Amino acid sequence: MPAGKRAGSADLLAIQNSSSLRPMVRLVQQISQSLSSDVDTAITFTSGSEDYDLAGWHDVATNTSRVTPTVPGYIRLFGTVWFAADTDDISIYASLGKNGTIVQRNRIVLPSTATASAFRSVTVTCGQACNGTTDFFELFGRQLQATPGTLSTNVAAGGFSSTLEVDFQRGS
């Protein structure tokens, strides 16, 4: 900034965006969740699931699947859905949604020789713009079984739980 120029709100936002004050959220699922076959289901992150939430973008009691950025700009989303062991899965999905609509999806087709002892996961990432007021983002899990039925997300120590990370990249 040139000498003698007053700092404006855009200048302060630029400093915040490039500093340790940059908003970030990392959620780790603490309670297993049942997913119906062939249905996109928002992954919930309840009490104890906030690894960190530097700007209060997530609520563990209300709309627990949602992250609602309070600053307009651009964010990077990264999600992994972990599924419990099952021998009947055909494919598993992880998707990211904006305002309830899927914006990015990743799918893994499973071999017919799947064993019941193996946890499975799929990861998805994307960038999105947010308005800083009403936009919200979610991680969705979906599984497809040869014989339709429910399958739970896996919750276990050592990184085998579903996670959603939202990092603020820069203001708009």
Domains: count for the chain: 1
Taking only the tens place, the pLDDT of each residue in 21-79 is 789 999 999 999 999 999 999 999 999 999 999 999 999 999 999 999 999 999 999 99
Residue 81 lies in a domain: yes
Q: Which tokens in the block code for residue 34? A: 């049942």
Residue 14 lies in a domain: no
Range of the domain at 46: 24-171
Residue 82 lies in a domain: yes
Residue 5 lies in a domain: no
Amino acid at position 1, single letter: M
Q: What is the CATH number of the domain that holds 88?
A: 2.60.120.40
Residue 106 lies in a domain: yes
Residue 8 lies in a domain: no
Distance from C-alpha of 171 to C-alpha of 83, rounded to nearest angstrom: 35
Contacts 24+ apart (CB under 8 A), 10-17: 10/171, 13/71, 13/171, 14/171, 17/73, 17/168, 17/169, 17/170, 17/171
Residue 19 lies in a domain: no
91 near 81, Cβ under 8 Å? Answer: no
pTM: 0.87
